[in-house]
Amino acid sequence: MMRHMQGASEYFKDKKITVMGLGLLGRGVGDAAFLAECSAELIVTDMKSEEVLKESLEKLSAYKNITYRLGEHHEEDFRGRDMILVAAGVPFDSVFVEVARQDGAEISMSGALFASLSKVPIIGITGTRGKSTVTHMIHHVLRTMTEGGKVLLGGNVRGVSNLQLLKDVEEDSVAVMELDSWQLQGFGEKKMSPHISVFTNFMEDHMNYYKGNMGMYFADKANIFMYQDEPDTFVTTREVLESAEVFAREKGFEMVQNIRLADTSILPDDCLLTMPGEHNRLNAALAIEALRATGLTDDEIFEGLATFPGVPGRLEYLGEIKGMKVYNDNNATTPMATVRGIEAVAGNKNVVLIAGGTYKEIDSSVLIEPIKKYCKKLVLLPGTGTDKLKGTLHTIPVNWNSVEGVTGGEVLKNAVEAGLAHGEPGDVLLFSPGFASFGMFLNEYDRNDQFVDIIKSHETL
């Protein structure tokens, strides 16, 4: 336990650490618990209230070396500290982080901190879409081919604390990490990149966070390859590579790592995947090139991929209701992701689509043609993104209606019932929101779980 982690307990012992962002997903709780176990002097601060964070706080109740500042941040909690552990999504221009930086504190994020302390080889995956699928494909194949081995899974993974992973590090460990743009800010802070990096694609997303600036968004993503050395490997597509080369020239650094370009031509014609869609064939191609870089043979790689079960919330097949195939594509939080989902499951005009949510400053007009071509019914959840979409629906002939409810779960239940009422055997019920979950649900995972529970409890499933 805790082997080859550069004495994490000693590293954190008696350090004054402020944890900025506890959250509800378990990652922040696990990180805080680990630091408390290492005898750090902790301040945990979160803009959420004690009531909202009740479940997370209960899990930390045994630790007496944690002071809480909830519902607000105070500058004094960021002065005189040795380290600020920043949660993903904290504003990049946070005045509190800047106060700590000017005061000489180490600014860290848990994924990069794990990579720095563990010293294990890191396979990192980013991209606007597909990063979760590629991450889980790589992890599944490596675990399958090493009969379990010490293949760790971390980064942007639900419920996984990156610092807790330090307990599982062994001499021959390797870590597969899904890295969103926010977590890659942490890698940029430490001027490090994964040993094998995968950049799936780059599209418009999170423009509410980046204030409409795609260059800032790409700059965070670029940390996945920016600090790689000659022995390292960068796996991507031709399109992303061209953007990466432009970025490198603008920033004045040379891309010296090994570069592997992926496309679907490397997949055999008889290669069957559990996840439908051409975009998932490209995801598989990216995973294959990364796995080749680890030294696995093609026979081993394809044998492992053949048993890959898919990823929850990403075109996840949930079975049939009244002869309608049901797919859960909850994690499609951009309009283009929903377009890919529609195209993947459609068989002519047979899709009953449940979509809608909160606007993320991303144009939703890309949905119009696929809806017109493939959707026989559109059921819309309430939200600011939905309102934007409604403004363009008058341009096409489509049967649509909005659903309401007191709670997010009630809204989803009403949406499912409305969708089933307009379908028939052979149709597809596709839940692919295309927008964020803010306001109606605690987070996208809460939305996912409530949808799955509604489908599983349906009496005719």
Mean pLDDT by 10 residues, the chain (461 residues): 62 96 89 96 96 94 96 96 93 91 96 96 96 96 86 92 95 95 95 98 90 94 98 98 98 97 89 84 96 96 92 91 94 93 93 94 92 95 92 86 89 94 95 91 90 85 44
Residue 310 inside a domain? The answer is: no
319 phi and psi angles, rounded to 5 deg: 110, -165
One domain, residues 55 and 144: no
One domain, residues 217 and 330: no
What are the strands, taking DSSP E only, across 147-262?
A: 151-155, 174-178, 196-199, 233-236, 258-261
Residue 9 inside a domain? The answer is: no
> What does pTM read for this prediction?
0.87
Residue 173 inside a domain? The answer is: yes
One domain, residues 38 and 146: no
One domain, residues 98 and 135: no
- Which pLDDT does position 82 carry in this prediction? 98
Q: How far apart are CA 29 and CA 439, in angstroms?
A: 22
Residue 311 inside a domain? The answer is: no
What are the strands, taking DSSP E only, across 32-150?
A: 41-46, 66-70, 83-86, 106-108, 122-126
Residue 222 inside a domain? The answer is: yes
Structure tokens that stand for 330 in this block: 């909850």
Judged by DSSP in three states, 99 sits in helix
Work out how many domains the chain is built from and give that number. Answer: 3
Q: Are strands 196-199 and 233-236 parallel, antiparallel or unpaired?
A: parallel
Residue 266 inside a domain? The answer is: yes
Give the end of a domain, one of 274, 305, 336.
305
Does an H or E element contain 292, and which? helix 278-294
Q: Are strands 316-321 and 324-328 parallel, antiparallel or unpaired?
A: antiparallel
Closest to 77 measured CA to CA, from 47, 99, 107, 50: 99
Structure tokens that stand for 416 in this block: 């499912």
- Which pLDDT does position 2 carry in this prediction? 45
One domain, residues 93 and 197: no
One domain, residues 268 and 381: no
Q: For residue 39, give its domain range.
A: 14-108
Residue 129 inside a domain? The answer is: yes
